[in-house]
Amino acid sequence: MNAQLQATGSAYFISKETQRPEIHTLSVLVDNEPGVLARVIGLFSGRGYNIESLTVSETEHEKHLSRITIVTRGTQHVLEQIKHQLERIVPVHRVIDLTVRAAELGQDRPLERELALVKVSGTGDARVEALRLADAFRASVIDANTEHFIFEITGKVSKIEQFISIMKPLGLVEVCRTGVAAMNRGAQGM
Amino acid sequence: MSNGQNETGRREMTGAEMVVQALKDNGVQHIFGYPGGAVLPIYDEIFQQDDVEHILVRHEQGAGHAAEGYARSTGKAGVMLVTSGPGATNAVTPLQDALMDSIPLVCITGQVPTTLIGSDAFQECDTVGITRPCTKHNWLVKDVNDLARTLHEAFHVATTGRPGPVVVDIPKDVQFARGIYTPPQTAPRTSYHPQVQGSLESIKEAVALLAGAKRPIIYSGGGVINSGLEASHLLRELVELSGFPITSTLMGLGAYPASGKNWLGMLGMHGTYEANMAMHDCDVMLCIGARFDDRITGRLDAFSPGSKKIHIDIDPSSINKNVHVDIPIIGDVAHVLEDLVRLWRATVKADKKALYPWWEQIAKWRARDSLAFKTNDDVIMPQYAIQRLYELTKHHETFITTEVGQHQMWAAQHFHFDKPNHWMTSGGLGTMGYGLPAALGVQIAHPDALVIDIAGDASIQMCIQEMSAAVQYEAPIKIFILNNQYMGMVRQWQQLLHGNRLSHSYTEAMPDFVKLAEAYGGHGIRCDKPADLDDAIKEMISVNKPVIFDCRVANLANCFPMIPSGKAHNEMLLPDEATDEAVANAIDAKGRELV
């Protein structure tokens, strides 16, 4: 009945959430200055928003601009709030909801890729099987001796998840993931 | 490089000199502060000049609230200067207070030398880390050549867009270092550009919607005051043109005069019956510079259910945050109202007759007289005390500050404000202890005005030490304490929510406020008889030094009308219905969880 009533984080939001949460990917262009990442993640923790994945790197050295990619989960209303709250941060230049943008462009999702390093140790059949599967997943071997491999794998989050779960029984030791890097398809920039 | 035109004002100086120079160049006349090891070089520079006057407070929290009062009453930035570590942590409360009430506050903090940062040095704290969530922006300046630009940027960020507090943290070695000072003409940073002009399309839509309204209401807030005097003028013009009823939040009182015929009184939890009922039943709501705070809306899913809503706000994140609006207009209130009034004049032929049935309905609600209270010949009723204070001070240039609690709500209900910037109160954060230092700040800005802190006996003790500062600077502030020996609002909620179990809300040992005033070098007055009240207030006004007025009021009076937590605007508890039983059952299980 209250389609317009939204979660606010306020104690006065006492009726049940009526909208379904969605997962969106945001690109945030910021001045690369001390504390800027703390401002962004402090906003998420302070206002009770979720971070599913976070990637940061300086992308334009001469302008000292960094691009932060955040995968977050929330209802449409919360996602809109997140965008506006991020835009309020003084060193934030632009915030693009890549998921919304993709929909506007008539696309399913933005391009999203992640890189993972996966260490697997073992001998015998398990070791052979691990290498065979890595090949099938187009993961490359970047370090190895007779008892282990370190695979480098790049791809969609789902592919990486699947690869890791397959490696588990084959002697998975540790995993390091970069988090999602993302942009929209097409000729236009953000 | 030769001294070309671009070089004007550029010269070499120490970091400490830059701080004072930047204050001068940004038009600062007064700062509030407290010295300490990490700001001594700046204090040394302050000592050697006369342009910027430093007001020495007794606690850094006092410096912050004084600067807030100064800012709110002048429309300029308030400035505070404190040392590292405890100096900075004591500033946190006023910073958050200024953040929630959108007050331009520039806080300069000393920091341990850059070489010691991170070593747990004496009086070190992570100031930018601690103040990050309670400022609009903050900076740690590690290079003296960045200092001037940063200070100018700090003033720019604090005073433009939605105003707010900023912190500039300056390590001691940077204060001693020499570098190049640049005057405040550099272009602001590219990532910060608040939108001041509203979309003309949206304003046109808004005018059309307003013009067709049968039961309109204007709900204005602190944003009108922040936008400047022009915004208040335009608001009054709009009300005059349209004939619409107008209500306001706590922070917005004075933007439209309480003596104006379209005034409904304050709205919200302790607002008037007519204001809240009109909000509930309206068909078009025009929200100007307010943010649908939980004190205003009551139960959200029953908030003004049948209305189309227009929201003017400079902060895009305020739009659709708590309440969905139909026409959002992002921009500065004065700029948007200018367009809106112009379009109204050009396109709308006001048919005030169409509003007659609505005004008739409002008159019925008004007749309910929701602010009524029973006067008493033996005991001073707190509402009566405020009414007398208003009557006896209304012909003076009077500024009112408050602490937080019942007295604050009674002041908002029974003191009537006809001008903006004359009412200073802690609305968003609800900071007990705000009023006394804020009054000091107001008095410093307006030396000849009558500045009164309407206080409670509990709140006043939270920053009472600033009496000493008021005496030192001969700031004749008047502290009018409604003394009921209780934390009245806490007690009221215990009565509403917790079976009248008054856990720690009674102050068994109370100072003798008259002697306390005298101990500080001020003047003390006590009054406990209604018949003596007028003379006592006149005495207070005539004394030309700080006064503490201990006004003994009915101990158990409660603040009504009230929207109990979790209830809607049309479920108010009115004073004549607030029996013990009604009070005990006013809030249901869900409401109990709320604040």
Position B186 scores a pLDDT of: 60
Picking from A54, A81, A104, the residue at the C-terminal end of a domain is A104
Cα–Cα dist B355/B274, whole Å:
16
Residues A79, A132, single domain; the answer is: no
Q: Which of B300, B303, B315, B587 to mutate to test the interface with A (most CBs of A within 10 A)?
A: B300
Q: Cβ–Cβ of B294/A10 closer than 8 Å?
A: yes
What distance in Å separates residue B221's CA from the closest CA in chain A? 20
**Measured between beta carbons, which residues in chain A are less than 8 angstroms from residue B323?**
4
User: Does residue B586 contact residue B573 with C-beta atoms inside 8 Å?
Assistant: yes
CA distances from A34 to A38, A83, B158, B192 (A): 9, 21, 20, 17
Do A87 and A125 lie in one domain? The reply is: no
Predicted local distance difference test score (pLDDT) of residue B521: 98
Q: Say which CATH number the domain at A92 has.
A: 3.30.70.260
The verdict on B191 touching A (C-beta cutoff 8 Å) is yes
Is the same domain home to A18 and A93?
Answer: yes
Both A70 and A91 in one domain: the answer is yes
Tell whether A100 and A144 lie within a shared domain: no
| Strand residues in B290-389 grouped as ranges (E) | 308-313, 327-330
Measured CA to CA, the distance from residue B73 to residue A63 in angstroms comes to: 40
- CB atoms near residue B54 (< 10 Å): 17
pLDDT for B580 equals 83
Q: What residues make up the domain containing A23? A: 10-104
* 8 Å CB contact of B324 and A30: no
User: Residue B6: its pLDDT value, please?
Assistant: 47
Residue-level pLDDT at B594: 81
Residue type, B478: K
Confidence of residue A19 (pLDDT cuts 50, 70, 90): confident
Q: Is B240 a catalytic residue?
A: no
Active site residue B308: no
- Residue B425 to residue B69: CA distance in whole angstroms: 9
| The two structure tokens encoding residue B260 | 């104006």
User: Does A132 reside within a domain?
Assistant: yes
- For residues A95-113, give the mean pLDDT: 96
Q: Give counts: helices (H), strands (E), chain B.
A: 24, 20
Confidence label for A17 from pLDDT (cuts 50, 70 and 90): low
- String of DSSP letters for B413-442: HHS---STT-EE---SS--TT-HHHHHHHH
| Neighbour-count burial for B31-42, b at 16+ CB within 10 Å, e otherwise | bbbbbbebbbbb
Q: Is the Cβ pair A93, B294 closer than 8 Å? A: no
Of B385, B384, B410, B429, residue with least CA distance to B558: B410
Given a cut of 70, is residue A38 above it in pLDDT? yes
The shortest C-alpha distance from A153 to chain B (Å) reads 36
For residue A6, what is the nearest residue in chain B, using CA coordinates? B322
Residues A21 and A100 in one domain: yes
Low-confidence residues in chain B, pLDDT < 50 = 1-6
**Residues A78 and A115 occupy one common structural domain:** no
* Closest by CA position to B398, among listed B469, B454, B468, B466: B454
User: Can you tell me the mean pLDDT for A110-132?
Assistant: 97
> Which residue out of B172, B309, B478, B567 is catalytically annotated?
B172
**A188 domain-assigned:** no
pLDDT at B515: 98
Same domain, A115 and A64: no
CATH assignment of the domain containing A153: 3.30.70.1150
Q: Are both A88 and A141 inside the same structural domain?
A: no
Whether A3 is covered by a domain: the verdict is no
A39 within a domain of the structure (yes/no): yes
Looking at the fold, whether A29 and A90 belong to one and the same domain comes out as: yes
Q: Which of A74, A104, A134 is the C-terminal boundary of a domain?
A: A104
Q: How many CB pairs lie under 8 A apart between chains A and B?
A: 77
User: Is residue A153 one of the residues assigned to a domain?
Assistant: yes
**Shortest CA distance from B589: residue in chain A:** A14
Q: How far apart are CA B110 and CA B175, in angstroms?
A: 9
**Which residues of B are less than 8 Å from A42 in CB distance?**
132-133
Evaluate whether B222 touches B417 at the Cβ level (below 8 Å). Answer: no
Inside any domain, residue A157:
yes
Q: Are residues A127 and A91 in the same domain?
A: no
Residue A190 in domain: no
Classify the phi-psi angles of A179: left when phi > 0, otherwise alpha if psi is within -120 to 50, otherwise beta: left
Residue B81: half-sphere exposure toward Cβ, Cα within 13 Å: 29
User: Please, which residues 72-101 of chain A have a Cβ atom closer than 8 Å to chain B?
Assistant: 77, 80-81, 84-85, 87-93
Q: Where are the alpha helices (DSSP H) in B243-351?
A: 273-281, 294-297, 333-347
Task: Please work out, in degrees rounded to the nearest 5, the angle formed at the alpha carbon of residue A157 by the alpha carbons of A108 and A178.
Answer: 125
**Tokens at residue B466, please?**
């600033």
Examine the domain organization and report whether A23 and A93 are in the same domain: yes
Q: How far is CA B126 from CA A145, B157, B170, B171, B209, in A?
A: 46, 22, 12, 12, 51
Which residues in chain B are contacts of A64 at CB distance < 8 A?
none
Q: End of a domain among A39, A70, A104? A: A104
Q: Is residue A189 part of a domain?
A: no
Number of compact structural domains in chain A: 2
The verdict on a CB contact (< 8 Å) between B300 and A93 is no
B322, B590, B592, B593: best to mutate for the A interface, most A CBs within 10 A: B322
SS (HEC) of A96-128: EEHHHHHHHCCCCCCEEEEEEEEEEECCHHHHH
